[in-house]
Amino acid sequence: MAIFNGKEMVTSFRSREFSCEKLASKLSKYQIDKAIICSVKAMPEYIPDLLSVNIPSVHTLTSESQLPFKIEYETPETLGPDRIAAAAGAYAMFPGKKILIIDAGTAITIDLLTVKAFKGGNISPGINMRFKALHRFTGKLPLVHPTENFTTPGRNTIEAITAGVINGVTYEINEYIRTFEKKYPGLEVIVTGGDSKIITSRISRKVIYAPDIVLEGLNYILEYNAK
């Protein structure tokens, strides 16, 4: 959750639960005029209702929301609203530019925005998902957690898994950037997501680290729909 005053983020916070009490404690200091909801999971109906009690205008982001760019995805109804929000944040950051948005979270998404059109993207397993898959689908490999401290080649099984996963993700992203740059010269590259810190320093070209791009995109879409 984040609270904005115009384009400025006033505060942001994370919570594992969403209740009347939690919401009241977080919002008690602010007069909220409008809100936007973005969820990649099935959302309980009480959440919009809960927000609507004290907030005059509540918008739930979907592919049918008013956007400053066209969505050229063949199945827009299956496009995650977080990807739409990240594209909107990138659009606001680099208006009129071609942008590659790399979101390294539970899954890794590589999305392309060209001036006025969301062209689509690719989805692959995220870092933690790869660690869990190696542990779950093999007989003896341990469950490893992300760390930046490892050698290549790995000198033991833990390091071998760590290097294999993190280097594999890095090589994958570097090649995506190289491939897209060939087709779209002058491309801006934005990196976000929970695992973005691990990979940003390993990317072989200059990128923009934007951890709040989804929240900023949501604010942009909210203002855009309020016009």
The position carrying tokens 């897209």 is: 180
Are the CB atoms for 143 and 137 separated by under 8 Å? no
Q: How far is CA 187 from CA 32, 72, 184, 208, in A?
A: 37, 19, 6, 12
CA distances (Å), origin 60, targets 97, 113, 202, 219: 27, 22, 36, 12
Q: Which of 11, 45, 188, 207 is nearest to 113 (CA)?
A: 188
Residue 18 CB partners (closer than 8 Å, separation 6+): 47, 50
CB 133 within 8 A of CB 124: no
- Whole-angstrom CA distances from 21 to 27, 70, 143 are 10, 39, 37
| AA identity, residue 93 | M
Q: Which of 82, 103, 111, 195 is catalytic?
A: 82
Does the annotation count 82 as an active-site position?
yes
By the 8 A CB rule, do 96 and 90 touch? no
Angstrom distance (rounded) from CA 15 to CA 24: 13
Give catalytic residues, as residue numbers: 82
